Chains A and B, each alone.
Chain A
Amino acid sequence: MRVMVLVKASEESEAGVMPSEEILNEMGKFNEELVQAGVMLAGDGLHPSSKGKRVAFSGKERTVLDGPFAETKELLAGFWIWQVKSVDEAVEWVKRSPFQEGVVEIRPVFELEDFGEAVTPEIAERDARLRAEVADRA
C-alpha cells in the first residue's frame, strides 16, 4: 500500500527559517534509509505559505488568494509518499524520523480496490461500451 506522510508546518517553517545543518544531515540520513529499504517513492519540502497561492471555488467563480495563510498548524511544510506493507509500518518509520517537535500525519492513498462502486467516468464508459458490444453480438 501507499501512504502520504504529511509534515505539518511550524512557526519556524512558516517564517522561512531553514533547518540547522545538523537536522538537514539527519534528515538526509533518514531519507537514505528510506530509499535503501525500498520504501521511498517521493518526497520534498515545501516553501512557506507566503510563497503559495490558493484558488477558491464558488460555482463558476474562481478567486485567487495570495499567501501567507493563517492557521499555521494546518499548513504543510513537506511530504513523502511511501510504499509500505501497512499503516503500522509507516508509523514505525515516522517514529525514526529526526523531528524534535511538531506533528507528522500519515494518510493511506486510495487503491483501486478502495473505490468499489465509485468507478471513474472512463471506466464506467468503457464498461458501458463493452456491454453494448457484447449485446450486439448476442
Chain B
Amino acid sequence: MSAAATRQAIEAVWRIESARLIAVLARYVRDVGLGEELAQDALVAALEQWPESGVPDNPGAWLTAVGKRRAVDVLRRREVLDRKRDELGRELVEGEEPDLEAELDDEIGDELLALVFTACHPVLSREARVALTLRVLGGLTTDEIARAFLVPEATIAQRIVRAKRTLAATGVRFEVPAGDELQARLASVLEVVYLIFNEGYAATAGEAWTRPELCEEALRLGRILAGLLPEEPEVHGLAALMELQASRLRARIGPGGEPVLLLDQDRSRWDRLLIGLGLAELARAEALGGSLGPYALQAAIAACHARALRPEDTDWERIAALYDALAQIAPSPVVELNRAVAHTQAFGPEEGLELVNELVADRSLSGYHLLPSVRGDLLARLGRHEEARAEFELAASLTRNERERALLLERARR
C-alpha cells in the first residue's frame, strides 16, 4: 500500500472510530479536552507506524489500545505529582498500586452519549458547541470545520481550545444527565445539530446557497442520536425534519445556482430515499405517544409536502393546523410568518395578509427579509402590484445572501 493510500485509510478509520475513541478516553480521564488530545496522540502514532507496519486488522482496537496506554501514563504522572504534593511522610503501602488498565476496560457503554451531552453543554457558546461537536463527534479537522463555516482556521482552533478550557474550568462532568436535566440538556444538543444542518441548508453568508457537506454531517449526527436515544420523540422529530428537508436539496437550486421555491420545485428531483427515512423517523416520534414537540411538528409539516406528488395535492389545511399547534408551543415571529403563508394557501390571501400585517405592526421581524418578501407575494396575488414591488425591493435590501437578493429583485421587476 502506498503512503498516500495508507494516509487515506487512516483518515477513513479516524472518521469511523474517532468519536467512540474520544468518548472512551474522555470517560476515563474525566475530561473531554484531554480525551481528545489522547485520541489525537493515537492518531499520530498510527500515522507514524501504519505506513511501515500496514493497517492493522482491527484498527479501532489498535487506536484504543494506544490511547489507553497514553491515558494510563498521564494518570500515573498525575498520581505521582499528587502523592508528592500530598505528604512526604505518609508511607506508601506496597502492592496498592491501582490497576489502571483494568479500570479502563470497565466501560459503561454510554460514553458516546456522554460525549454528545458534554460537547453540547449549555455552559459553552453556540458557536463553541457547534465547533466542538463537529470536531469530536464528526471527526472533522479544524481546517474542514473552518472551510465549512467560511472562517479562518485559527478562529475555529481558538474556539475549540477555549471550549475545552471552559469545560474543564467549570467542572462539567462527563456523563449523561438524568431526570429533568436530561430534557433541558437534550434541547441544547438538538439545537446544535439543527444549527449545523441549517448552516448547510440555508447558507447565511457567502455566494453559495447551500453547503451540502454540512447537511450530510448533521443528518449523520441526527441518525446517530436517534440510535442512542430511541425513547426521545424529539430526537426522532429532528432526524425526520432534517431528512425531509434534505430530500429537497437537489430541487432547491436552479440551473444558474439560484434558489427555487418549494412550490416551484421539480418534485421528481426530490430524494425519495431520504423522504422514506424521514417519514419513518416521524412515525417513530408519533408512535412514542404524547403531543408532538416543535421538531416533530415541523417534520409533520415537511411530511405534508413530501407526501404531495404535485403542489396542488398539498394538504394546506393540515399544514395550517400544524402551524397553529407550533405557534402555541414554540411561538416565534418566523413561525407566525409561516403560519400566515399556510393560512393563505388554505383559506386565501386576504386571511394571510391579515396575519402578516399583525406581524408588521409587531415590529419584532423588522430587518428580517422574509417578512416583506411574503407580504410582497400576498399583495401581488391581490393585484396590488405597486405595493408588492416596494416590499420585494425592501426584502432584497435586507437579505445577506447574494443569490436570494437577485431572486427578490427579479420579482420586484415582474
Contacts and interface: CB of A to CB of B under 8 A. Distances in A.
A22 B30 CA distance: 38
Interface in A81-104: 81, 83, 85-86, 88-89, 91-93
Interface stretch (A13-21, A60-68, A121-129): A121-129
Contacts of B222: 38
B219 A85 contact: no
Contacts of A1: 216
A41 B253 CA distance: 23
B250 interface: yes
A35 interface: yes
Contacts of A92: 9, 12-13, 15-16, 59
A92 B256 CA distance: 37
A23 interface: no
Interface centre among B253, B273, B414 (most CB of A within 10 A): B273
Nearest to A40: B223
Interface string B204-229: 00000000000010011111100110
Nearest to B5: A88
A130 B254 contact: yes
> Chain A, interface size: which category?
20 to 34
Interface string B246-270: 0000100111100000000010110
A91 B9 contact: yes
Contact residues of B: prevailing secondary structure:
helix
Interface in B43-64: 59
A36 B224 CA distance: 5
Contacts of A122: 266, 268-269
> Chain B, interface size: which category?
20 to 34
Interface centre among A35, A38, A119, A130 (most CB of B within 10 A): A38
Given A112-B250, A119-B255, A126-B255, A41 B277 contact: yes
Contacts of B13: 92
Given A41-B277, A89-B16, A112-B250, A35 B223 contact: yes
Interface in A42-88: 42, 81, 83, 85-86, 88
Interface of A: 1, 35-39, 41-42, 81, 83, 85-86, 88-89, 91-93, 112, 119, 122-124, 126-127, 130, 134, 137
Given A81-B273, A89-B16, A92-B15, 11 more contacts: A36-B227, A38-B220, A41-B274, A42-B273, A86-B8, A86-B15, A92-B9, A112-B253, A119-B255, A122-B268, A126-B255
17 contacts: A35-B223, A36-B228, A37-B224, A38-B227, A39-B220, A83-B220, A85-B216, A88-B9, A112-B250, A112-B253, A119-B255, A122-B269, A126-B255, A126-B266, A127-B254, A130-B255, A137-B414
Interface of B: 8-9, 11-13, 15-16, 59, 216, 219-224, 227-228, 250, 253-256, 266, 268-269, 273-274, 277, 410, 413-414
